[in-house]
Amino acid sequence: MSARDDILAACRVSRPPGDHPLPELPRFPRPAEDVLSEFQRSLAVMGGQWLRLVEGDDLAAVIRARAPNGLIRSAVPELPAFPRVDAVTRPQDLENVDIAVVRARFGVAETGSVFLSDHELQVNTIAYLAQHLVVLLDPEAIVPGIADAYLRSDFSQARYVSLMTGPSATADIEGVLIRGAQGVRSLTVIFTP
């Protein structure tokens, strides 16, 4: 029996008898607003970047231009020219990745967050070990608020979920904001269906 099994068994023994349904998640009406504009604004506030491809842009070329000589790994089928994220044998083998490209299942306008699960990331460490994260997001897949996000079944269907909002940052020391302190140095959302 593993430590995990021991902990879960102890929790089950200590659980009070009876049914304990989860509380109903409330809906919080939000003013009608362009969710894409709100998402862009919220993401920028948190230090993230976004861009829209214009007609004729080649997605691979746009991403390659961000790191001409860097290692780019992809977890999306749209970019077969880049090595796959899941081609490594150990998660720590992703430590030298300059840019990782993933697709978010959806975005949250209120916070500028993107939903990434184990399915989208393929190897969860890629979202933290890569120097820069490029996230493909369908603009039609943006929900208005964080409460709307939690009403989706995506959370209960994944083993691992992260709502990422901009690059890693800390301002613990003398209020100086440092990006990329414990994770990606930049997070760029590219809007593409």
The DSSP call for residue 104 is: -
Burial of 100 (0-12, 13-18, 19+ CB in 10 A): buried
The confidence score (pLDDT) of residue 85 equals: 96
pLDDT in the model for residue 68:
94
Structure confidence at residue 66 (pLDDT): 94
Q: Could you give the residue ranges of the DSSP H alpha helices within 33-125? A: 35-45, 59-64, 118-121
Residue 44's pLDDT is what? 95
102 in Cβ contact with 86 (< 8 Å): no
Q: Which residue has the tokens 């992809």?
A: 74
pLDDT in tens for each of the 193 residues of the chain?
789 999 999 999 999 999 888 888 888 877 777 999 999 999 999 999 999 999 999 999 999 999 999 999 999 999 999 999 999 999 999 999 999 999 999 999 999 999 999 999 999 999 999 999 999 999 999 999 998 998 899 988 999 999 999 898 887 777 788 877 788 999 999 999 9
Res 170: pLDDT: 83
The position carrying tokens 């500028």 is 112
Contact (Cβ atoms closer than 8 angstroms) between residue 185 and residue 167: yes
Q: Residue 124 has what DSSP assignment?
A: T
CA distance 135 to 102: 5
CB neighbourhood size of 67 (10 A): 15
pLDDT value of position 175:
78
What is the pLDDT at residue 169? 84
Give the pLDDT confidence score for residue 86 in this predicted structure.
95
Helix/strand/coil (H, E, C) string of the chain?
CCHHHHHHHHHHHHCCCCCCCCCCCCCCCCCCCCHHHHHHHHHHHCCCEEEECCCCCCHHHHHHCCCCCCCEEECCCCCCCCCEHHHCCCHHHHCCCCEEEEECCCEECCCCEEEEEHHHHCCCCHHHHCCEEEEEECHHHEECCHHHHHCCHHHCCCCCEEEECCCCEECCCCCCCEECCCCCCEEEEEECC
pLDDT of residue 180: 76
C-beta neighbour count of 142 within 10 angstroms: 24
